[in-house]
Homo-oligomer: A and B are copies of this chain.
Amino acid sequence: MARQIDPRILRTRNLIMEAFIELSMQMDFKDMTIKDITTSATVNRATFYNHFYDKYDLLEKVLSESIMREVIQEVSTHEVINEESIKSILLSIIRFQTSISNQCHRSYKAFTPQIETLFKNVLHASFSKWAHKQWPNQNNTDIEVFSVALSWALYGVAMHGMQNQQTEPEKYLQQLMPLIDTMNKEDAHQI
């Protein structure tokens, strides 16, 4: 099963995605037409619709499969929730956002909502998984609520730190750690 995919499909998909990344560095996403993308990709405009629903679908796939792949991968490799891992994730996100806002300064504003959604999904999923192992005595809903709170807080703090060019994350960590400490205490109680 899962027969080999026709290489033309992969090639065309890559051509479109790479052309989109290239164009994102040159112009604003909102001014970008399908024609611009397909011309730059040396692909017919109609072919675009065999691969993507529209411009926004392309953006989402480029972000998750290409641009954000590395940082998502890095975030996912941690296994526990503690000061060290939170700090590392915080720095990864700040580094990524800084880099992308420099590379695609014209399109960055249009990208941020999608980036935000992807990051929060990944963070929530990871935190949830790790929390279940880390605090096995907590019930599901508590863990879900904690995961949501931590992921939103962490992401918000990362964005704030980036906008203020704050390179010292210790101050932000101080604000996040109480969330985790609470879980540690509660879990111990539940025994």
Residues of A within 8 A of B (CB): 7, 10-11, 42, 44
Which of the residues B11, B42, B44 comes within 8 Å of A42, measured between beta carbons? B11
Instruction: Report the minimum CB–CB distance from A9 to chain B (whole Å).
Output: 11
A44 — which chain B residues lie within 8 A by C-beta?
7
Closest 4 A-B residue pairs measured CB to CB? A11-B42, A7-B42, A7-B44, A10-B42
CB distance from A15 to the nearest CB of B (A): 8
Specify the chain B residue showing the minimal Cβ separation from A41: B11
A-B contact pairs, 4 of them (CB 8 A): A7-B42, A7-B44, A10-B42, A11-B42
Question: Please, how many angstroms separate the alpha-carbon atoms of A149 and B9 in the complex?
Answer: 54
Residue of B nearest to A14 (CB): B42
* A44 vs B7: C-alpha distance when bound (angstroms): 9
Residues on B with beta carbons closer than 8 Å to the beta carbon of A42: 7, 10-11
Q: Write the chain B residue with the least CB distance to A44.
A: B7
Q: A5: shortest Cβ distance to chain B, in Å?
A: 12
Could you tell me the distance between the alpha carbons of A11 and B42 in the complex, rounded to whole angstroms? 7
Across the interface, which residues of B come within 8 angstroms of A7, CB to CB? 42, 44
Residue in B closest to A10 when the chains form the complex, CB atoms: B42
- State in angstroms the CA–CA spacing of A44 and B11 once bound together: 12
- Min CB distance A42 to B, Å, is 5
What residue of chain B has the Cβ atom nearest to residue A7's Cβ? B42
Alpha-carbon gap, A42 to B7, bound state (A): 7
Q: How far is the CB of A84 from chain B (nearest CB, A)?
A: 42
In the complex, how many angstroms separate the beta carbon of A58 from the nearest chain B beta carbon?
Answer: 20
Chain B minimum-CB-distance residue to A15: B11
Give Cα distance in the complex from A10 to B44, angstroms: 13
How far is the CB of A39 from the nearest CB of chain B, in Å?
10
